[in-house]
Amino acid sequence: APLTFRNPPLLDAIAAAAIRSINAEMEGRRAGCGSGAAAQHLTNFAWAFAQLEWPHEPLFDAISAAALTIMTEGTTQTFANLAWSFATRQFVNNPLLQSIAAAALNKIHEAKRRHLANTSWSVAVLVFF
């Protein structure tokens, strides 16, 4: 369903809070006390803002930077959802996409059909940007 109510100050505030949350999680991980749920949180933020069709480049930059450090923890759904979110927003980050590809290759035997389909669609779409 299309988003018919847009409140830019609210969406920007949510994005800013998400960036702070991502940065705090990554700082905690560097200090050895991260929650272990970082991959899921990043995917949730990316998916939500892709669904909202709200272009917030700083948020996607923060997601990209953080995802590069936790990619081995993700599942095939994580990879598929991150790739889908970035493709939907037409946001290309080559290091992240290379990281997603490498991680997905390592776990491809665990992938469900829909994860394979979403990942392949995302890669195909991003080739054109």
Whether 114 and 80 have beta carbons less than 8 Å apart is answered as yes
Q: What is the pTM of this model?
A: 0.85
Query: Residue 34, CB half-sphere, CA atoms under 13 Å: how many?
Result: 21
Answer yes or no: are the C-beta atoms of 121 and 87 closer than 8 Å: yes
Residue 2 pLDDT grade (very low, low, confident, very high; cuts 50, 70, 90) = low
pLDDT in tens, 10-49: 999 999 999 999 999 888 887 777 666 688 889 999 999 9
Taking only the tens place, the pLDDT of each residue in 71-113 is 888 889 998 999 999 999 888 889 988 998 898 889 999 999 9
Give how far Cα 85 sits from Cα of 14, 28, 60, 80, Å: 17, 25, 9, 9
CA separation, residue 48 to residues 32, 45, 65 (Å)? 28, 5, 18
The answer, yes or no, to whether residue 59 has pLDDT greater than 90, is: yes
